[in-house]
Amino acid sequence: MKIISFAAIKGGVGKTTLAYNFGERLAKNGKKILFIDLDHQCNLSQTYEVYADKDIGTVANIFLQEDNVTINHVKENIDLIAGNMHLDDIETNIENMTNKNMRLYMWLNNNYDKVGIGDYDYIIIDCHPDFSTATKNAIIVSHDILSPITPSKHGFDAKYNLEDRIEDLRKEAIEFSTGETYVTAKLYFIANMIKRNTSSSNEMLESIKDDDSVIAVIPDKELFNRSNLDETPVVEMMEDTRTYNRNYNFFQDFNKTFKQIEDKL
């Protein structure tokens, strides 16, 4: 099983869209996926029309250390633990607790066999665009972190900011008896929303051409950007012959790029 977190310091960079389409593509290829929605905007949960109510145990219960966490079966090969719009309030409430950054780690360990966590091929975590307690929890349990960056000055700032914060967490989250860190994830970046023949996109492509941490480039394409809003992943768009023929090059590039990401992890 591999745990992958989609994380970013800056909002609006396509993090949820990437997580959604990456998971959907893996599921289409027969992999069993568990999405965990740690973004208190809950966009990923809403894409699957799963909403927090009194009968659904959301990610909030992981951080409150309550047992009733609901794993929702939303699609063939895809399950989801729903987000909670009040997760930021819960983070504030547990801020002074010594194990605040380890709660997801403990929940996964405690439920590995109990609720079949070990049966998944991938756990994909969609984080809120910040470096709060929930995001730290996700990074600690992850094998890999994927962070989209976009063509702007702030996009580059967010890249360096995330690298620094993860390094600080690596030093902070240690097993005191051994001195080893819990943060072992590899951090990769995806250049997203790249537009043709614009100075900002050209500058980004030039700056990352020798950067091994940037493992993929995704063009700015409305078809891709709206996929989770329209609740239709790219792998399902391909099944419509007319759409496929009209966007043949995009779909070919999509398969190549996402296979490239998968092979790198």
Give tens-digit pLDDT for 42-100: 999 999 999 877 668 999 999 999 888 999 999 999 999 999 999 999 999 999 999 99
User: What is the DSSP track for the chain?
Assistant: -EEEEE--SSSSSSHHHHHHHHHHHHHHTT--EEEEEE-TT-HHHHHTT----TT---THHHHTT-S----EEEETTEEEEPP-TTHHHHHHHTTT-TTGGGHHHHHHHHTTTTS-GGG-SEEEEEE-SS-SHHHHHHHHH-SEEEEEE-SSHHHHHHHHHHHHHHHHHHHHSEETTTTEES--PEEEEEEEEEPTT-HHHHHHHHHHTT-TTEEEEEE--HHHHTTTTTT--HHHHTTSHHHHHHTHHHHHHHHHHHHHHHHH-
152 has a pLDDT exceeding 90: no
CATH code for the structural domain at 2-233: 3.40.50.300
pLDDT in tens, 245-255: 999 999 999 99
pLDDT of residue 52: 77
Looking at residue 54, its pLDDT comes to 66
What's the mean pLDDT when you consider all of the chain? 93
pLDDT mean over 2-13: 94
Note the pLDDT of residue 203.
Answer: 86
**pLDDT confidence of residue 204:** 86
